[in-house]
Structure 1
């Protein structure tokens, strides 16, 4: 049985991945802050990347697959991932790195595909690119880069934030000229399961197969959540449409593992 270690398994994405994979693999996870639930689960291990070296945990567990869903200080993340790279080069192990559509945020005229050149204007995007470039120098079987757009879901932080802002009577900041795609957490976990199970290699874009303007997407979400006339604050950062979307082309998943914008909205708002 494969042993999987999810770094950041107490977070939204990491915990959803743990729940999906734990019945099928010997799945372990890390958490940062003290938490009785995680402390009492022997599959969870406390890890602080700012003060600890990941090498000790990796040596003790010897996972076959490491999934990085870490958040936090960028410099600490970079150092941790370079330690992971040293480990997977020594052992029969691979890293699945969760990256972001922001690695393409300097390109605004078109959506981005798996093997397009990365270029970012944001600190966040450049940090993700630094780790991606280190992985791309490895043998193909040693890594996956999984780029995600915005991730929604019934209990997602983004849905909770939308509800809170509307309930407080505050305006939701929206971007009418930004064209996006999105995804939903349960579909993401199924996609990861498939990638691991089939030993798929390379770079994956796990966004919806279609695109939508960000304002329209948020409006449709609000309507499905029961808010008929939400208050919007329109932010125009360009006179033209600007794309921030990651579409699959080279590494497409089976039809049943693909998702559309309407399915994202439905899955994120159903009772």
Structure 2
């Protein structure tokens, strides 16, 4: 589904975090991009497109009125109550500015109360965790108040050579430390590079709706991690198998209703290949 196009002024909330900063780098050359940071004074305070914003202390409505974005990409974290207040301020701003759209970074956690099958965009959400329940509340707020200005972007496990999960895996390999794997958990996955490309496409084409930015195929968590480990090194960490049940359980989201063009899709094999690349090779790509 599309909304009207135009020259975009983008604000990335949580632009100093792993996902937010990678999106910033992807979009910077194409749009007028602004970001927020909270605690990383030295790294971002001298950058004129980064604004200090702490959800526990500051007014989002005032910041939005200062920057006047036409696209808000939210990858922010913080206290749930203060965050919910901030999203209500975001909705109030967007209701006053019909040319402004919101891209909310959600996740597969909104389905973590379902275990028997993978989940698609229009499936009913159900969560058993505080994080998943909060994301469901924000999705509901946005979809009920500004549906024609909202894109919900649900993410699976996000990997890639410099992702926190792969950095942790490399450290565990190096130090022969314990790394947890879930043999009975079936998941989807993706890379940070693919997410950034997909978000760029969604912004460029002014898309709204619910999107599952995941691989189009599934894999057992343990198999995925072992394959990536094999790509990284001939050594392994100490794998600790964690069983939550005797049967396979799904924490997998799949695209079905809002599929992006084929060049913006990704398979598990591609995630394995990219996540297992040598760090020095990635630095010169």
Cα contact 1:183–1:261 (8 A) shared by 2 = yes
Q: Confirm or deny: 8 A CA contact 1:219 1:230 kept in the other structure.
A: no
2:177–2:237 CA contact under 8 A, matched in 1: no
Alpha-carbon displacement from aligned partner over 1:106-130 (angstroms, at most 9, x marks no partner): 1100000001000100111001001
Distance 1:238 1:94 in 2: 41
Structure 1 residue 240 corresponds to structure 2 residue 264: no
Question: 1:6–1:14: 8 Å Cα contact kept in structure 2?
Answer: yes
Q: Report what 1:24 is aligned to.
A: 30
Distance 1:142 1:179 in 2: 33
Identify which of 67, 86, 89 aligns with 1:83.
Answer: 89
Find out whether 1:58 has 2:58 as its counterpart: no
Q: Which residue of 1 aligns with 2:131?
A: 124
Partner of 1:218: 225
Deviation per residue, 1:147-169 (Å, 9 max, x gap):
00111111111111111223222
**Partners of 2:137 and 2:262 in 1: CA distance:** 32
Q: Does 1:153 align with 2:160?
A: yes
Question: Which residue of structure 1 lines up, in the alignment, with residue 207 of structure 2?
Answer: 200
Indicate whether 1:11 and 2:17 are aligned: yes
Question: Please, which of 98, 101, 104 is the counterpart of residue 97 of structure 1?
Answer: 104
Q: Distance in 2 between matches of 1:262 and 1:49?
A: 38
Aligned to 1:107, the other structure's residue is in SS state coil
CA shift for structure 1 position 75 = 1.7
Q: Structure 1 residue 269 and structure 2 residue 279: aligned?
A: no
Contact 2:173 2:235 in 1 (8 A): no
Matched-pair contact (CA < 8 Å) for 1:99–1:148: yes
- 8 Å CA contact 2:177–2:238 kept in 1: the answer is yes
* Counterparts of 2:15 and 2:154, CA distance in 1: 18
Quick one: which of 136, 140, 148 aligns to 1:133?
A: 140
The runs of 4+ residues in structure 1 deviating greater than 6 Å are none
How far residue 69 of structure 1 moved from its aligned partner, in angstroms, is 0.4
Unaligned runs of 5+ in 2: 1-6, 279-285
Structure 1: which 5+ residue stretches go unaligned? Answer: none
Give the whole-Å Cα distance in 2 for the aligned partners of 1:44 and 1:231.
Answer: 41
Range with greater deviation from structure 2 (191-200 or 71-80): 71-80
Shift of 1:269: 2.0
In structure 1, distance between residues paired with 2:267 and 2:19: 19
Cα RMSD for the two superposed structures:
1.1
Give 1:37 deviation, angstroms. Answer: 3.3
